Structure 1
Amino acid sequence: MRPTTTVSRIVLVFLFLILTIYNTDGVKAQTAYKRVYLSGTDAANTVDWEFKVSDGARSGEWSTIPVPSNWELHGFGTYNYGLEYNDPNEEYGKEIGSYRHRFEVPLDWKGKVINLVFDGSMTDTRVKINGKSAGAIHQGAFYRFSYDVSNLIKYGSKNLLEVEVAKNSENESVNKAERKADFWIFGGIFRPVFLEILPAVHIKRLAVDARHDGSLHTQVSLNKSLRGARLRLKLYTAEGAPVLPVLEKDFNNSSKQISLEGDFETIKSWNPEQPNLYTAVYELIYKEEVMFSKTETIGFRTVELRDKDGFYINEKRVIFKGVNRHSFYPNTGRALSEANHLEDIRLMKAMNMNAVRMSHYGPDERFLQLCDSLGLFVLDELTGWQNGYDTIVGPKLIKELVLKDENHPSVIIWDHGNEGGWNFANEKFFHQYDIQKRPIIYPWLARKGVDTRHYPEYNFGINRLEQGDLPFMPTEFLHGLYDGGHGAGLDDFWSAYKRNPAFSGGFLWSFTDEAVVRRDLNDSLDADGNHAPDGILGPYREKEGSFYTIKEIWSPIQIEPVVITPQFDGSIYVTNEYLFTNLKECSLEVQLKRMTGFGNEEMVYKASIQLPEALPGETRKVQLNLPDDFAESHLLSLTAKSPGGDELYTWSWAIQDAVQVSAQLAAGLAAEVSVLKLEEGDEKLEVRAGAMQYRFDQKTGMLDAVFKNGQQIALSGGAYPVGIESQVKAVDWDFNSTDAFHLKVNYTEYPSMLIWTVTPDGRLKLEAEGLYQGAKNIDFIGLSFKYPEEQVKAIKWMGQGPYRVWKNRLKGAELGVWKKEYNNTVTGSSFESLVYPEFKGYHGKMYWAELQTTEGKIRVVTETPDLYLRLYTPALPPEKDVTGGVAPPFPEGDLSFLYDIPAIGTKFKSADNLGPSSQQGSISNRREDELDKIILWFDFEL
């Protein structure tokens, strides 16, 4: 759902609120906190400043640039991906950007404190007001910093702001932490710049520790002491209703700091499932007059990391279902908009995530506000990819990070760097500034009471998860690359790990493909080879198949495995995997669909069921109360809905099996019966049945050609076995002109017998015996055909869809009737033609398929349960960019019908390291077994 207000309207409302008089409390407009933007408020609402860059594109001349922005995205300077520092052939940009902006200051601001605030500037920033330095250089790109410019301002006239931003820092630890990293390196003022207009005495810092039991502790600092002053705190609900009591306390003598405590017994606590927020109004009172007021949005919640146990929020142990998120958008870089933040959070929640890790720096102020209000746990991170800040700049940046983000209830953990990007000597400054004493973790380390090991293999565990006594929470796992990672292996990983009481969840790498618009390369999208196409989503948030896999596996409502047949009694078992929500607040929507012909569906039943009471972790039996004629339908679907009515996930099952569906479709395909005709040549056999003509090779038994009314159809070259070495032993046939033509092919291995049948009504049937051979290390096994790819337009099919599947990524693809147009998408790579779902690949649980071609329609119906349909071989990115296990094998041919398919790996792990469903297949059967044959019926419509 899109926001109904524009960013500009939101900003106006915000300014109105902070300037509004609070009812009858005597707060005058000039005493309230006031913010005036010199730049735009975000990447969608910018202000042009004068600009010049020293090197690279468009260097040396003054022009203009929107602020906030990254200058590369406006055609200035040099693009660099951080890892290029290792390449001596790459020019590592060290340009300097110069900004000028003129702004007016009203005369009535004189006597007030004017702070100039930067929310993010890459990297070393020098600031002048009217030709004079505003203060010391700021080093560090992702942090809020400010200057008191009260004495530099010209009141009642225009002022000149000059800013010099050096992309390369004079502090080498800043370069190592922020620039020599596995992400894009940009330059510029990429977050807002604003003025704070404050009275001479005002609140400088508000630090709030609001607990889930209603207790509140706050520390307030003034910019200067005011003898005889008093602090008052009023609390309001989100709807504006006052919450008692009102807290007050006098400042002691000339102290600039005060602590205030109180208990609010009627509050509702904050958590991601019920993100209850309150407005705290702080008033500085002197001689019964309000001298200054400031509001803070807070949530009451308690964070604990219990020794050898896990993370607790509001005294409930939590499992994090999270993802790593860069602040990134293709055409604006790290400068983001309200719409960007909203879209990202809604996509995370649509995948049933409850947490996000900031990788690898603190986020925009607005992102955290939205996490507070929409409900996400946040791991807030100090930058340091694989190197940390020194003890000079590090403490300053920790202070800036904490002071900017400390009061957001969504922020529950501090990450002190990433994968070596830490300096243990600086840790004490988190404790010094954070009054909530949130847990501090070191991503990749077993340290500070939690094991955050990155990219564990499925069997990882000696002295860690299985034998270890630390809570286990990988802050990066299942590293995505192209179509590998994320959903692949997640079901095995999650099912096994969550059974262990030490498991505390994990964070997938990563949220989006970080392909940036290259203004220097004709606006093409560039992910720097295989360095940045790591996302569940494409650069413009296109959904890859893993999106739906994650959505299913992480759904907080789970339906226990169930077999649906015409005899199904309608009872299922539902498990509540929420952290804080009772199952009775949720519902199930039941749908039955009936199918006629190829893809004609109709809804025949729909009902809503309120779920029974069940606390988190409990399972309840639920009766669906299906209609008496339930078995006449083809598909049953169940949609779990949240307390707010949002879809959590929709599961679907076939009610009738492949044999029943095939029989129903066959009745509709029956043509006029004719007399079969057989023509024998030296090498070919031709069988005619009415309008149809089939030509077979006598030596191989393969289908050589198909004709209808004399027009050739290009399906040929099959069926030949794939996945196991097998040779033709013998070919034989029998013929009865009024009954059928049978062509029998014997193979040395699989299949021992393959039979073609042509019936008098022109239908073609293929029957291949089951898997009686013994074999191991199988990637795929079944039968293939050839059909020219260039003649394919689309496909419609009944089976799992609409996305392709891998052996270890079957969840998220549901049974139904689907259609998609032909495309040649290379997942996470072909950014100029990125069409999802991909056309090519493996598709599960096939019932029938209709290939729509330039020749007409080729229909295949199967009687075999759980057969995989393979559609061509997906193209791969350039060979140099394919690493790990992200290029699984495909069989020879174009169209395949398979018993088994391969798994896919991640960027760093081959598939066999990802769990049971990622292993190669094996066959071990007996001749007496009644195994499923591959049975296919073919029909052709020109």
Structure 2
Amino acid sequence: MTEDQDQIPDWENTYVYGRNKEPYHCTLIPYKEALTQARPIAPYFRMLNGRWKFHWVKRPADRPHEFYMPEYDVSEWDEIEVPSVWQLKGYGIPIYTNIKYPYSVKKRRIPNIDHDYNPVGSYRTTFKLPREFKDHKIFLHFGGVKSAFYVWVNGKEVGYSQGSMNPAEFDITDFINSKLNTLAVEVYRWSDGSYLEDQDMWRFSGIFRDVFLYITPQVHIRDYFARCEFDKDYEDATLKMRTEIFNYGGDKITDYRLEISLKDADGHHVGTEPLINEKFDIDLLSKATFEFQAKVKRPFKWSAETPYLYDLIFTLKNPQEEIIEKVKCKYGFKQVEIGQDDGLYINGKSIIFKGVNRHDHDPDEGRCVPEERMLQDILICKRNNINAIRTSHYPNDPRFLELCDQYGIYVLDENNLESHGLRRKLPASDPKWTGACVDRMEGMVERDKNHPCIFMWSLGNEAGQGDNFREMKNAALKIDNTRPIHYEGDYKLRVSDVFSTMYSTPKQVKEAAEYKKTRSSLLSRVKPKQYKGKPRILCEYAHAMGNSVGDLQAYMDIFEKYPNCVGGFIWDYIDQGLRKSEKGKEFWAYGGDFGDEPNDKNFCCNGILLPDRKPNPSLFEVKKVYQNIEVSAEDLLKGMVQIHNKYRFIPLDFVNLTWELTANGKVVQNGELGVIAVESGAGKKLKIPYSIPDAQPKTEYHLKITAKLNKDTSWASEGHIVAWDQFQLPLDPPEVTPIDISRTPILKLQELTNIYRIKGRNFEIGIGKKSGLIESYSYNEKELISKPLTPNFWRAPTDNDRGVSAFVSLIRRFITKTSWKKASQKRKIKEQNIEQINPQIIRASYKFKVRNGKKPLQTTYTFYGTGDIIVENEFIPKKDMIRFGMQMAVPQDLNNVQWFGKGPHETMHDRKTGAAVGIYSGNVEELIHPYVSPQENGNRTDIRWIKITDVNNSGWYIGDYGETLLYSSLWPYSMEDLENAKHIHELPRRDFNTVNIDYRQKGVGGDLPVIANVHEKFKLKKKKKYYYCFRMRPYNAEEDTDAIFREKLPEV
């Protein structure tokens, strides 16, 4: 540094990112005896988490300058929990922004920070040392502090650190005393390091990971790196170890011994005991690095499917054979390679990474994620066929990686580097940033290098290009050359070992799969020779913001067909909402809800899980598309199917197969197939022993085959459903005989001032003369319609529908195609005709002039003496439609819903692969879905019939009558309520329920962030004729729904 730089505060100096910090090393705690606990215990370790004294100010000038002195009185200070983020403990506000830097970061005066708004948190605590700490080296460990901090012990400055997602350790041996010790930490919310931490996330600060002390002997195993290399058959392995040993003492040591042992999961020694036994000497105050290797016969291999872990135990002994120290590591035998087919291989098998991006986020604790939440995240992954996580966009807590090792999750470990809002300027090739960038990369790789779950390192995210990325890669490879290096921002593919992109469409992914010229970014294209030898991976895809993740199957079809396309990571796993209450109502807060400016509203909520980890509907789609057992139909009339095991390492001996055959949703045959022996990657034909039923009129027969765990596992209980497939039997049912209309009651048609009235035996229907709509239906003197049955071309915009207009209000009306919103409201009757066809049938026909219609909307109602109404709609749009359907409201007490269609969860036009056809039920509250930002929700697809009833099982029957199947949803509020609400607690509960009866909605899309980008087959296209028809009638408890469904009314 120059003399001028000495005058710059550390937290504005790019050349200062640490002072007196210990070199990075792997995660380890030494013991006198190796222990079995996941977390270390006393006396060799002392956790300092807990209640600390805390003082917060808005700007550095106001901080208490000498608070670190033991005699400084902090008795009147507040207390704060460590670890935590202070914004969620009442100090300052959380800020959510995606690309834009918070205003304290001065983009025009890089790397300056606003001195008038850079909050400082001053922390104080005290501790006593156990007797066992005497005569040992004592280290102080911070797992994560954001964004910069100073440390004092007993009034003396120990050091300084930046790089908030990596650990910082300090040797405090010479600072402590045998009595009460005072630890003081001064944390700055913003620093020059904040320029490298512009991730799409909440901006929190504080001591948010564990703080602890640990001791080491004077001769200490400071670091080690274990890796392996298999033979060509992937049977036997060579275990290679690099060990770094420090001699902190004032004398040279000789004839010390290092023993390395390997134990299997049952505690049995593997190979010789010890596996390695070497003597060594080290000069005083020096360190030495040793390389060892040993042959291991037929080790169990680690993978996400088989997460087998050994205990690797390092033992130091002095010349008297006394144990000085033991260190234990969980180790998995795993080798990562890029294959000749450009696939990514683990232990000789090509892998499809069925992944998600995961932020460290908790709805109550923010970045400070409790261990039970980490475990919950992993269990949800395992139970939903997710096999990989990208730590977007920073190293996660090491405990999370330990759990990934244990349960089996592949991890793409990402460096804490993103400069999205300034990525054209920094870090680029600017030498001012080289040291900080390399330090961050080294910190991650050194800390995490022994975790078998990590299959690839990432240099960062959305941080531009330049020489600094080459420097980071070189630094990483000096530490670990066994894993490939990833970086999506390397658009010319000069640094990254893989060809990674964000939000490529299936078409673009297929171009690379077939080695064609394709895009590496929105503005860059690459030729096949540039990416030959580099596996194709999507570090972000299927943007899951709100009601999204359309046509995920299109991606998986490509991944499974082309070996060089190795999968991807859905953006993202968790809606990053924060729990908040207003007037006693709880909701999920997002950008702007804390007065934070600038902000990007709800763009932080892109998860397949809600903030509390309840599923969003897209999770069910992910589980189905990601499943590793596939059943395909061979000859269903002979009961023949094909079982395909898509797992790469395990046979299907851990699941039992069951089957059921349904007739119109009701089970008529079922059975158990038990364990079907199918090796990994193989298939097997299988006969399902069902009897082909005699086809009945208007009856569908579905075969469903389900794979369930046949015993408890570490991640799910026996009976958990791993995979399923369903098929409709190709039977030819006989024609339905129409009912004899002459035996049904007669109808009377009356023309009144404002309505046409149709009266039957126990019902009365009103058609508005000006509206052309069914405005009322009274059955047994109970009104069944609260609002008229109205054509509908609109939906409450999804996040993808709103697109960038959600953030730029001036363009909202152009982006969201609001012309369809008023299409129904502004319709006009062009032609109408109502006539009595015969005593039992009346028909009303209307042609409506509708905005965006190439021809008029034709609506026909046919009324029968049975109380039935057949509703037909035909339309040719001039523009692509959002929805083609009808909407009405029914009384609030019609609250119970049953349907025969896909379910039980919400499905959409392009997101219904994960739902099976069946009969499902629930009340209206159970059918809606509380997306963080209210939007279209609760839809069910492929409906044959739906029943909406009260507590007496009386109400409406609505059935498909045009063989197009229906889509339907019900809400306890209006569509206007849904569109106007910004948070879930703002949605009222009305005295009616809204009912949507649709032909279709367009798909929800999700290939690109906040752009629907619906695939062609899921659009409602302009200039195409659309027709659908449904039957509606009052329903009472004595009736048989299936019998109604199979009825045929006489044609007019």
TM-score in terms of structure 2 length: 0.74
Q: Does 1:363 align with 2:396?
A: yes
- AA of the residue aligned to 2:707: A
How far does residue 629 in structure 1 lie from its aligned partner after superposition?
5.5
* Alignment check: 8 A CA contact 1:594 1:604 kept: no
Give the match for residue 862 of structure 1: 960
Give SS of 2:869's match. strand
Give the match for residue 508 of structure 1: 570
Q: Does 1:849 align with 2:921?
A: no
Give the match for residue 5 of structure 1: none
Give the match for residue 1049 of structure 2: none
Give the match for residue 605 of structure 1: 670
Give the match for residue 399 of structure 1: 442
How far does residue 308 in structure 1 lie from its aligned partner after superposition?
6.6
How far does residue 444 in structure 1 lie from its aligned partner after superposition?
3.6
Give SS of 1:242's match. coil
Give the match for residue 640 of structure 1: 707
Taking structure 1 as reference, are residues 141 and 619 closer, same or farther at Cα in structure 2, changes over 3 Å only?
A: same
- AA of the residue aligned to 2:999: Y
How far does residue 282 in structure 1 lie from its aligned partner after superposition?
0.9
How far does residue 688 in structure 1 lie from its aligned partner after superposition?
3.0
Distance in structure 1 (CA, Å) of the matches to 2:752 and 2:97: 67
* Alignment check: 8 A CA contact 2:883 2:1002 kept: no
Deviates more, 1:318-327 or 1:571-580: 571-580
Give SS of 1:512's match. coil
Taking structure 1 as reference, are residues 698 and 49 closer, same or farther at Cα in structure 2, changes over 3 Å only?
A: closer
Q: 2:784 aligns with which of 713, 717, 720?
A: 713
Q: 1:814 aligns with which of 908, 916, 922?
A: 916
- AA of the residue aligned to 2:168: F
Structure 1: gaps (5+ residues): 1-13, 24-30, 41-46, 883-892, 926-930
Taking structure 1 as reference, are residues 727 and 695 closer, same or farther at Cα in structure 2, changes over 3 Å only?
A: closer
Taking structure 1 as reference, are residues 779 and 659 closer, same or farther at Cα in structure 2, changes over 3 Å only?
A: farther
| Identity in percent | 22
* Alignment check: 8 A CA contact 1:572 1:621 kept: yes
- AA of the residue aligned to 2:123: Y
Q: Does 1:36 align with 2:79?
A: no
How far does residue 657 in structure 1 lie from its aligned partner after superposition?
9.6
Distance in structure 1 (CA, Å) of the matches to 2:417 and 2:205: 17
How far does residue 613 in structure 1 lie from its aligned partner after superposition?
2.3
Q: Does 1:758 align with 2:858?
A: no
Structure 2: gaps (5+ residues): 1-26, 65-75, 106-113, 231-235, 428-432, 517-527, 592-600, 794-819, 849-854, 984-992, 1038-1052
Give the match for residue 905 of structure 2: 803
How far does residue 117 in structure 1 lie from its aligned partner after superposition?
1.1
Kindly report which structure 2 residues correspond to 1:203-602, keeping only aligned pairs within 5 A, or say none.
203-211=221-229, 213-224=236-247, 226-245=253-272, 246-254=274-282, 256-287=288-319, 288-306=321-339, 309-386=342-419, 390-420=433-463, 423-428=468-473, 430-431=475-476, 433-446=478-491, 447=493, 448-460=496-508, 464-466=512-514, 467=516, 468=528, 469=532, 470-484=534-548, 487-517=549-579, 525-528=588-591, 529-560=601-632, 568-583=637-652, 585-592=654-661
CA deviation map 1:516-543 (0-9, x unaligned): 2469999864221132011111111121
Taking structure 1 as reference, are residues 658 and 121 closer, same or farther at Cα in structure 2, changes over 3 Å only?
A: farther
- AA of the residue aligned to 2:547: D
Deviates more, 1:849-858 or 1:518-527: 518-527
Distance in structure 2 (CA, Å) of the matches to 1:898 and 1:465: 38
Give SS of 1:530's match. helix
Give SS of 1:580's match. coil
Q: 2:1006 aligns with which of 898, 906, 930?
A: 906
Give SS of 1:531's match. helix
Give SS of 1:400's match. helix
How far does residue 592 in structure 1 lie from its aligned partner after superposition?
4.1
Distance in structure 2 (CA, Å) of the matches to 1:625 and 1:366: 48
Give the match for residue 889 of structure 1: none
* Alignment check: 8 A CA contact 2:894 2:950 kept: yes
How far does residue 689 in structure 1 lie from its aligned partner after superposition?
2.9
* Alignment check: 8 A CA contact 1:807 1:917 kept: no
Give SS of 1:393's match. helix
Distance in structure 1 (CA, Å) of the matches to 2:1017 and 2:163: 45
Q: 1:143 aligns with which of 161, 166, 169?
A: 166
Q: 1:67 aligns with which of 76, 79, 82?
A: 82
How far does residue 337 in structure 1 lie from its aligned partner after superposition?
1.5
Give SS of 2:253's match. coil
How far does residue 594 in structure 1 lie from its aligned partner after superposition?
6.5
Kindly report which structure 2 residues correspond to 1:665-814, keeping only aligned pairs within 5 A, or say none.
674-681=745-752, 684-696=755-767, 702-714=773-785, 717-718=788-789, 729-737=831-839, 740-745=840-845, 747=847, 754-759=860-865, 762-766=866-870, 768=872, 778-779=880-881, 783-787=885-889, 793-814=895-916
* Alignment check: 8 A CA contact 2:756 2:767 kept: yes
Give the match for residue 100 of structure 1: 124
Distance in structure 2 (CA, Å) of the matches to 1:459 and 1:146: 48
Give SS of 2:152's match. strand
How far does residue 673 in structure 1 lie from its aligned partner after superposition?
5.5
Structure 1 vs Structure 2 CA RMSD? 4.2
How far does residue 780 in structure 1 lie from its aligned partner after superposition?
5.9
Distance in structure 2 (CA, Å) of the matches to 1:475 and 1:519: 35
Distance in structure 1 (CA, Å) of the matches to 2:582 and 2:1028: 57
Distance in structure 2 (CA, Å) of the matches to 1:281 and 1:630: 67
Give the match for residue 890 of structure 1: none
Distance in structure 2 (CA, Å) of the matches to 1:660 and 1:89: 74
* Alignment check: 8 A CA contact 2:32 2:325 kept: no
Give SS of 1:504's match. strand
Taking structure 1 as reference, are residues 21 and 934 closer, same or farther at Cα in structure 2, changes over 3 Å only?
A: closer
Distance in structure 2 (CA, Å) of the matches to 1:734 and 1:562: 52
CA deviation map 1:670-711 (0-9, x unaligned): 999545444455765433332122234578764342112333
* Alignment check: 8 A CA contact 1:684 1:698 kept: yes
Taking structure 1 as reference, are residues 159 and 216 closer, same or farther at Cα in structure 2, changes over 3 Å only?
A: same
Taking structure 1 as reference, are residues 868 and 775 closer, same or farther at Cα in structure 2, changes over 3 Å only?
A: same
* Alignment check: 8 A CA contact 2:85 2:206 kept: yes
Distance in structure 2 (CA, Å) of the matches to 1:584 and 1:332: 41
How far does residue 37 in structure 1 lie from its aligned partner after superposition?
3.2
* Alignment check: 8 A CA contact 2:944 2:966 kept: no
Give SS of 1:137's match. strand
- AA of the residue aligned to 2:1031: L
* Alignment check: 8 A CA contact 2:871 2:1030 kept: yes
Give the match for residue 57 of structure 2: 54
CA deviation map 1:587-628 (0-9, x unaligned): 322134567xxx9x6786342342342431x44322221256
Taking structure 1 as reference, are residues 603 and 404 closer, same or farther at Cα in structure 2, changes over 3 Å only?
A: farther
* Alignment check: 8 A CA contact 1:593 1:603 kept: yes
- AA of the residue aligned to 1:757: F
Q: Does 1:620 align with 2:629?
A: no
* Alignment check: 8 A CA contact 1:652 1:816 kept: no
Distance in structure 2 (CA, Å) of the matches to 1:615 and 1:99: 54
Taking structure 1 as reference, are residues 435 and 228 closer, same or farther at Cα in structure 2, changes over 3 Å only?
A: farther
How far does residue 854 in structure 1 lie from its aligned partner after superposition?
9.4
CA deviation map 1:290-315 (0-9, x unaligned): 22211111000101234771311111
Taking structure 1 as reference, are residues 336 and 267 closer, same or farther at Cα in structure 2, changes over 3 Å only?
A: same
Taking structure 1 as reference, are residues 935 and 137 closer, same or farther at Cα in structure 2, changes over 3 Å only?
A: closer
Taking structure 1 as reference, are residues 203 and 310 closer, same or farther at Cα in structure 2, changes over 3 Å only?
A: same
Distance in structure 2 (CA, Å) of the matches to 1:35 and 1:703: 79
How far does residue 756 in structure 1 lie from its aligned partner after superposition?
0.7
